């Protein structure tokens, strides 16, 4: 049997795209792990923030909001972009970049003290991004997989692709255990492994770079209130948010080059994160409970890559979605499905300039 479309990777990217391809023919979702979403999708910091990812990503994030909200996947949180000593100019730069795109409000010390108890001296200015929400990532991913299953998408797990050759308009995909899949179109939604998949298929060598991001869960005193906003250091030194049970999630906002694989937290990164926290607030760290890491994969210009490859006929890029792939999933899937099938962009993404995401921009 020959499939019309084979999607490599069943994380959020592959699952969302597969669910959007209803009516596009026979679709198979191929996952190297024993379960979908084991890597980046399952290790997300789980927030939706319009400014996150920069101006090239913001249209996709904004266009995803209504779909996510209608599905019940968002819970209001709010974000505070906090300026430390000497960083106030970065707030002005953020306003200049996003002021006409999203709602941002200046905060002074009095306002900050009411939102972030125990804030140390020198942290006197910030921007409030009130639209920020938490995302139920597990529910969203499960929903996409279920939608795809109802639409006839087949899922293959424990299926690592080791060879990809195209003959007479059909891809012959060989898995590590000897299984083979034939498909007319091959979609690269492999996240940190996107470069390796492209190399197997002889596609353009777009440098999708995996970068490690660390997260640690802490017990702190006083325990963070459930209403504490997402706090993002404007200079990119850390971010934090409350978790259930009065715990705190904290990241040093690291981006360490790493090979594609099962990422693990580095103890130095955990220590750096805690040090930055303690320099910002007077909370006491009671316990370091667990730490983990995920791989965020970026194209050279840090914008996603959507579209057919010029070098490898029948090879479609759906990769380079960094740390913003979950918050942009609905819009990205709509864009990807339209480009893949030659259809019209749905209304929610009709105003998105999809050419800025084309793989041909890298020459």
pLDDT digits (tens, 9 = 90+) for 156-195: 999 999 999 999 999 999 999 999 999 999 999 999 999 9
Q: What is the tens place of the pLDDT at every residue in 12-63?
A: 999 999 999 998 999 999 999 988 888 777 677 789 999 999 999 999 999 9
Q: What is the spatial distance between Cα 173 and Cα 186, in angstroms, rounded to a whole number?
A: 9
Q: What pairs with residue 82 in β-bridges?
A: 126, 233
Rounded Cα distance, 200 and 261, in Å: 17
Residue 286 has pLDDT above 70, yes or no: yes
Tokens representing 24? Answer: 């596009």
136 close to 173: Cβ distance less than 8 angstroms:
no
**Quick check: 269 and 276 in contact, CB under 8 A?**
no
Tell me the pLDDT tens digit for each residue of 223-255. Answer: 999 999 999 999 999 999 999 889 999 999 999
Q: Are 122 and 84 in contact (CB under 8 A)?
A: yes
CB 332, CB 70: distance < 8 Å: no
């Amino acid at each position: 049997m020959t499939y019309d479309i084979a999607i490599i990777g069943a994380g959020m990217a592959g699952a969302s795209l597969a669910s959007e391809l209803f009516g596009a023919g026979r679709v198979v979702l191929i996952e190297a792990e024993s379960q979908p979403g084991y890597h980046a999708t399952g290790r997300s910091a789980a927030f939706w923030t319009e400014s996150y990812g920069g101006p090239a990503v913001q249209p996709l994030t904004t266009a995803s909001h209504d779909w996510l909200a209608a599905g019940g996947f968002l819970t209001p949180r709010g974000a505070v972009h906090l300026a430390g000593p000497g960083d106030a100019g970065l707030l002005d730069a953020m306003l200049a970049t996003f002021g006409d795109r999203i709602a941002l409000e200046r905060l002074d010390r009095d306002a900050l003290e009411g939102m972030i108890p125990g804030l140390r001296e020198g942290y006197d200015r910030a921007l409030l991004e009130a639209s920020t929400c938490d995302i139920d990532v597990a529910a969203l991913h499960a929903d996409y997989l279920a939608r795809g299953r109802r639409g006839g998408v087949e899922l293959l797990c424990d299926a690592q692709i080791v060879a990809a050759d195209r003959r007479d308009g059909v891809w012959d995909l060989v898995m590590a255990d000897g299984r083979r899949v034939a498909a007319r179109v091959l979609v690269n939604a492999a996240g940190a492994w996107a470069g390796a998949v492209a190399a197997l298929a002889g596609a353009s060598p777009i440098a999708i770079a995996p970068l490690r991001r660390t997260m640690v869960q802490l017990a702190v005193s006083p325990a963070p209130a459930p209403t504490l906003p997402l706090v993002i250091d404007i200079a990119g030194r850390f971010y934090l948010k409350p978790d259930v049970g009065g715990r705190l999630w904290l990241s040093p906002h690291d981006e360490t080059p790493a090979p594609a694989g099962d990422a693990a937290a580095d103890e130095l990164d955990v220590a750096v994160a805690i040090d930055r926290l303690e320099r910002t607030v007077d909370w006491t760290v009671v316990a370091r409970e667990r730490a983990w890491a995920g791989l965020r994969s970026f194209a050279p210009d840090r914008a996603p890559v959507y579209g057919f490859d010029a070098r490898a006929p029948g090879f479609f890029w759906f990769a380079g979605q960094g740390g913003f792939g979950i918050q942009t999933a609905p819009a990205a899937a709509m864009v990807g499905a339209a480009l893949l099938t030659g259809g019209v962009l749905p209304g929610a993404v009709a105003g998105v300039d999809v050419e800025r995401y084309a793989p041909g921009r890298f020459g």
